[in-house]
Amino acid sequence: MNVLIVGSGGREHALAWKIAQSPRVERVFVAPGNAGTAADAENVDISTDDFPALIKFAQENEVGLTVVGPEAPLAAGIVDVFQDAGLRVFGPNAAAAELEGSKVFCKDLLRDADVASGEYQTFEDVDEAVMFLEEREDVPVVVKADGLAAGKGVIVCSCRDEALAAVEKIARQKAYGDAGNRILIEERLDGQEASVLAITDGQTLVMLQPAQDHKPAYDGDTGPNTGGMGAYCPAPLMDDEMLHWVEEKVLVPTIHAMKRARRPFSGVLYAGLMITNQGPKVLEYNVRFGDPECQPLLFRLKTDLVDVLEATVDGRLDQLDPLEWDPRPSVCVVMASEGYPNSYEKGRPIRGLDEAAKLADTKVFHAGTGLLNGQVVNTGGRVLNVTAMGDNIARAKLAAYTAVKCIRWDGAWCRKDISDKALF
């Protein structure tokens, strides 16, 4: 069977790398891919929003399974059009992808399903939102654009003035476009964050190991928010008992609520959780593998991922054997371009990848890379996802940073403290 992966980041490289290991897979295509997927699979020059071209490619190249990485094509209905064309595709349809595509839909569903999450109010009228903030006590809140904003439409505020500025930016100036037509003002929760991902066919849940992302740009969780500067897995703050609680009290009720809403969910259900003093509360749902969480997760997965993805698409996850994991933890360090998360220069040659490739238990997944005259160059803000395993977290961290040291380009940087939260 041939497999098509839609997307071009580190998550898609990890998916391509893992899927290519399946004995049942002949060719792995990635559309549009990056320099890393070009080496481990075959790139196809079709963008993630050109559904007709993707369908045509799948039909002409005996693609037996398509796996969609990012949220935008899912929310735009790529699964619906593939299914209409009779093609097998992994991911939720547009109706189910609303769980990520609309934060208002998500919060309302969580409330109906009685799942723990922060208090919130929804506004369509900017003046009403302003009045709400001015009339209530000056407490920390989070202002969120309802729609997809490439991970940027969330502003965490410590006081009323910041919240008012956030409402202006999102809802009046429309800094994230139509995503800000509706906004949420949400109670700010305190604690550590954890990512719990599960794969579901709408009936059966298969839990993945808990992971932790590092969203702020700089060490010690300081600086601006990013798409994620590193991740590790498993995250010890989420012990087995808590993970079981999340499955029973968060994920299962969500799956049932989606069914009741006539939006049965199939694909990756990813709960972004805040571990508060009162226990885990849902910050948001994503409807896809996390990036970068996917990289350290798949690095440890021993089970053939294609078996899991196919069982999901075919609605027979209940027949799947339990997942097998490498017991060793993994750490993924994101190497970024100078200037990220703001503007940065592209096209800088990257050196040392061959040296890093020789290290045991290490894999450099590519995120924002491309080929320019045969040379690997940076094309994005998050450039490489250096992933390694070790006998314990400290050793996995050391292994990842040993590989990082092999790699050089002008302006390359990374956080130096990925996984430290697991050690204290």
The smaller minimum CB distance to ligand GLY, of residues 201 and 291, is found at 291
Residue 188 binds which of ligand GLY, ligand AMP, none (CB < 5-8 A, kind-dependent)? ligand AMP
CA distance 213 to 218: 13
Which residue of 12, 186, 291, 310 would you call a contact of ligand GLY, by CB under 6 A? 291
Among 9, 70, 210, 228, binds ligand GLY (CB under 6 A): 228
Say if residues 410 and 323 touch (Cβ distance below 8 Å).
no
272, 368, 380, 381: which one contacts ligand AMP (CB under 6 A)? 272
Asked if 275 touches ligand AMP (CB under 6 A), the answer is: no
Give Dmax (Cα) for the chain: 62
From candidates 154, 185, 217, 294, binder to ligand AMP by CB under 6 A: 154
How many angstroms separate the Cα of 97 from the Cα of each of 5, 71, 399, 417?
Answer: 18, 8, 37, 33
Binding to ligand GLY, residues 154-193 (CB under 6 A): none
Strand partners, 266: none
Q: Which partner, ligand AMP, ligand GLY, none, binds residue 71 by CB below 5 to 8 Å per kind?
A: none
Helix ranges (DSSP H) in 126-274: 126-135, 160-167, 240-246, 252-260
**What is each CA distance from 12 to 6, 49, 356, in whole angstroms?**
7, 15, 20
Residue 186, contacted partner among ligand AMP, ligand GLY, none, CB below 5-8 A by kind: ligand AMP
Q: First and final CA of the chain: distance in angstroms? A: 45
Q: Which of 189, 206, 306, 386 binds ligand AMP (CB under 6 A)?
A: 189
Of 53 and 156, the one with the shorter C-beta distance to ligand AMP is: 156
Q: What does the per-residue mask of binding to ligand GLY show for 305-344, with x meaning CB under 6 A?
A: ----------------------------------------
| Helical H segments across 186-289, by residue range | 240-246, 252-260
User: Which among ligand AMP, ligand GLY, none contacts residue 65 (Cβ within 5 to 8 A by kind)?
Assistant: none
DSSP string covering 64-115: EEEEE-SHHHHHTTHHHHHHHTT--EES--HHHHHHHH-HHHHHHHHHHTT-
Q: Answer yes or no whether residue 160 interacts with ligand AMP by CB under 6 A.
A: no
Choice between 272 and 370, CB closer to ligand GLY: 272
Question: How many beta carbons lie within 10 A of that of residue 315, not counting itself?
Answer: 14
Burial track 283-301 (b if 16+ CB lie within 10 A, e otherwise): bbbbbbbbbbbbbbbbbbb
Which residues are near ligand GLY by CB under 6 A? Answer: 151, 213, 228, 286, 290-291, 293
Which residues are near ligand AMP by CB under 6 A? Answer: 118, 142, 151, 154, 156, 186-189, 193, 215, 272, 283-284
